[in-house]
Amino acid sequence: MKKSLALFTALALAATGALAQTTPPPAAAADPAPAGPPTALQSPRRMVPPEQMAGRRSQKLARQLGLSADQQSRLQAALLAERQAMTSTAPGGPADRRTMHRAMQANHAQYEAQVRTILTPDQYSQFTALEQQHRADAQAKRQQRVGMAPSN
């Protein structure tokens, strides 16, 4: 009995020593935090810089809407201006939420007016349909995330 207890204790100590020797995987050190001020509602994901976001979005819209090179560059400039304005609007506290919301709405209205001048009427109607679909998809994802998936 004493031999089995001593053997078990030695095995437990060896296993504990082996586990203590392993090094944890490198975490966030390999992926530095993005430059610039964090937003108030920043998710744990790494934020994409506005320039990169505008570039990706303009390329995707160029494919979906069949934009010319001039339209794509103008759209990218409008997207960049909107993204930069959105990220610079940071609330100072709960009292500033309403002010921030109004500023974001005004910024988005200005962006929509720019997009309307860049796109042809057919492209703009396709654009609004894509935006509505994007909003519906995002809402469905949010509902699934909180466990309120709509029942059909």
Q: Model-level pTM?
A: 0.60
The SS3 call for residue 41 is coil
User: Domain ranges in the chain?
Assistant: 50-142
Model pLDDT, residue 146: 81
Radius of gyration of the chain measured on its C-alpha atoms: 26
User: CA-to-CA distance for 83 and 57, rounded, in angstroms?
Assistant: 11
CA 76 to chain centre: 18
**Close Cβ partners of 123 (under 8 Å, ≥ 6 residues apart):** 65, 66, 67, 71
User: CA-to-CA distance for 43 and 136, rounded, in angstroms?
Assistant: 21
pLDDT tens track for 71-105: 999 999 999 998 888 777 665 555 578 888 888 89
pLDDT at 152 over 80: no
pLDDT tens track for 18-74: 555 555 555 544 444 445 445 545 456 677 888 888 899 999 999 999 999 999 999
The answer to whether 53 and 83 have CB atoms below 8 angstroms apart is yes
